[in-house]
Structure 1
Amino acid sequence: MNANVKIQPATTPVLLSEPSRLARTGTRLLRGFTQQVLPPMVVILVLGVIWEMLCSGPGAALPPPSLVLEETWELIIHPFYDNGGNDKGLAWQLLASLERVAVGYAFAVVVGVGLGVLIGQSDWAMRGLDPLFQVLRTVPPLAWLPLSLAGFQDSHPSALFVIFITAIWPIIINTAVGIRNISQDYRNVAKVLQLNGLEYFKTIMLPAAAPYIFTGLRIGVGLSWLAIIAAEMLIGGVGIGFFIWDAWNASRISDIILALIYIGVVGFILDRLVAFIGQRITHGAPAA
């Protein structure tokens, strides 16, 4: 046996101890807090202090945040109260509005994606429908409300129609752009594989145009939420829009401010929800 040969000791993987893993997890959480949570908290705090200073004087037209919190505390801690009629908590008001948005937006998604595919695939449809859509999409959402009330003779379907007609245009336009931007290589592959229409739609068209489609869906859901708030101010009934109008008639300015905060938070959540679904479906492909 060669005496110069040295036997190396066997090495074993070094396992992190439980305190080390906890320390790394804590470091990641702290980094996420300081990068994502702390900046908006600081901005909100600064704006709140400025608001408090500007509105605390005797001649202030708007209440300071301390007074808003005091006057709306019952609404905040009891969001699900129900005294019958329109006298309901903010949670019920928001849920009623969200239900209308969900129905009207779902119709807009189905019809909008379908028309967008048609326009994107057909030059004839593009030349015939695109000018009409470009004109109709410039009509303000509330301008459709009197016409829908005259046609449906009911406030509920009228509100759904306003949501539908508001959300559909960005969905149509972005879907059509996405279809028209499908690479010619993909189209050639479909011809080589002799895919039928349904197979081409499922395997080539939708995956390639998905980032564009979800850009339209995000814009559409934001517009839907804006439209229903404005529409509910006019049609009445249970809903956050009518809650704001009723609070204005009763001079409850603090209630209006609280409702506006809730509206902004819900709108933000809706946008992030559609973006999250889009990221899952497109596997992180960049949006248009």
Structure 2
Amino acid sequence: MKNELIKKILLPLLVFVLIIQVWSGISTIVDDFPTPSDTYVAAFGGVTSDGDEFVGVLSDPFYVENQDVKGIFWQILESLKRVFSGFILAILVGVPLGLLIGMSKNAQYAFDPFIQIFKPVSPLAWLPLLLFIFQDINMTAISTIFITSIWPIIINTALGVKSVSEDYMNVAKVLRFSPLEKIIQIILPVSVPYIFTGMRLSLGIAWLVIVAAEMLTGGIGIGFWIWDEYNNLNYHNIIIGIIVVGLIGYLLDLMMGKIANYFDYTKKGRA
């Protein structure tokens, strides 16, 4: 157990050192590419190797200059609002639709071709059409997240319904359960782990999509902030933005993973 803990700490540190070395190598080859040390200064403040003084992006994340110029905290908060708005809509539509597809062969035959067609479509393909329809940045981003993140919820919910034992369904027939009683007392308890797995995948896709969506739609948000920093040639901040996006994505996945594990009765049984 102790050796495993050491490995969990030591091995990521070795990979981190390797990444820093590769990063430093790239900065010596590519002109004006930010070094790790200069990026650290840009993040937390100080003086760069060129003698320039920086107020770090992360040392003052809450500043507000005007409606359009805000610190990185507000950019992240705006992105998270859009992500969870689209994600919640995907849950409200995806779970009932997944239950219907899982319970009904006719529903499966009706919806499956369209799920398979639209599931692989890139969010960037939806953006121009949705922007034309809504003429609004927020609604475009939210609807793009909804459309692209709903598929894992539908598919995993339907898979959860199909995993219900035939014996349970026979008991429901003997007891003459109504369709609603069958869903609440038989199907949902078995399907919940699958549903939360779908939600975990969906949230990851939603966070992935928002960066690309905001880069094209503009406004306030971490995606637009990264693109704006590129236009201003602030390459340090692009790297900071990438790291921040990755860390938040990791935390969101960790959160949904914990929730999914909590509702997974199979893991509780093994424990």
Within-5 A mapping of 1:1-288: 33-56=5-28, 59-60=30-31, 62-73=33-44, 74-283=56-265, 285=267
Identity across the alignment (%)? 42
Residue 161 of structure 1 deviates from its aligned partner by: 0.2
- The secondary structure found in structure 1 opposite 2:262 is helix
CA distance in 2: counterparts of 1:260 and 1:90, whole angstroms? 12
1:196-231 CA-to-partner distances (Å, cap 9, x unmatched) read 222221222112122222221111111101111101
Residue 147 of structure 1 deviates from its aligned partner by: 1.2
CA distance in 2: counterparts of 1:190 and 1:44, whole angstroms? 55
Amino acid corresponding to residue 165 of structure 2 in structure 1: S
TM-score (norm 2): 0.89
- CA gap of 1:279–1:267, structure 2 versus 1, over 3 A, is same
- The secondary structure found in structure 1 opposite 2:57 is helix
CA distance in 2: counterparts of 1:87 and 1:37, whole angstroms? 39
1:63-114 CA-to-partner distances (Å, cap 9, x unmatched) read 1211111233211211111111222111111111001001100000110111
CA distance in 2: counterparts of 1:260 and 1:270, whole angstroms? 15
CA distance in 2: counterparts of 1:187 and 1:103, whole angstroms? 35
CA distance in 2: counterparts of 1:217 and 1:142, whole angstroms? 22
Residue 192 of structure 1 deviates from its aligned partner by: 2.7
Q: Which of 223-232 and 276-285 deviates more?
A: 276-285
Residue 31 of structure 1 deviates from its aligned partner by: 6.0
Amino acid corresponding to residue 250 of structure 1 in structure 2: N
- Unaligned 5+ segments in structure 2 are 45-55
CA contact (8 A) 1:211 1:285 kept: no
Residue in 2 that maps onto 1:8: none
- The secondary structure found in structure 2 opposite 1:214 is helix
CA distance in 2: counterparts of 1:95 and 1:41, whole angstroms? 30
Amino acid corresponding to residue 64 of structure 1 in structure 2: T
CA contact (8 A) 1:52 1:66 kept: no
CA distance in 1: counterparts of 2:20 and 2:266, whole angstroms? 36
Q: Which of 150-159 and 253-262 deviates more?
A: 150-159
Residue in 2 that maps onto 1:24: none
- Count how many residue pairs are aligned between Structure 1 and Structure 2: 257
CA contact (8 A) 1:119 1:129 kept: yes
CA distance in 1: counterparts of 2:266 and 2:222, whole angstroms? 34
Residue 36 of structure 1 deviates from its aligned partner by: 3.0
CA contact (8 A) 2:26 2:33 kept: no
CA contact (8 A) 1:207 1:282 kept: no
CA distance in 2: counterparts of 1:110 and 1:150, whole angstroms? 25
Residue 142 of structure 1 deviates from its aligned partner by: 1.4
CA contact (8 A) 2:193 2:263 kept: no
Larger Rg: 1
- The secondary structure found in structure 2 opposite 1:144 is helix
- Unaligned 5+ segments in structure 1 are 1-27
CA distance in 2: counterparts of 1:284 and 1:263, whole angstroms? 32
Q: Which of 68-77 and 253-262 deviates more?
A: 68-77
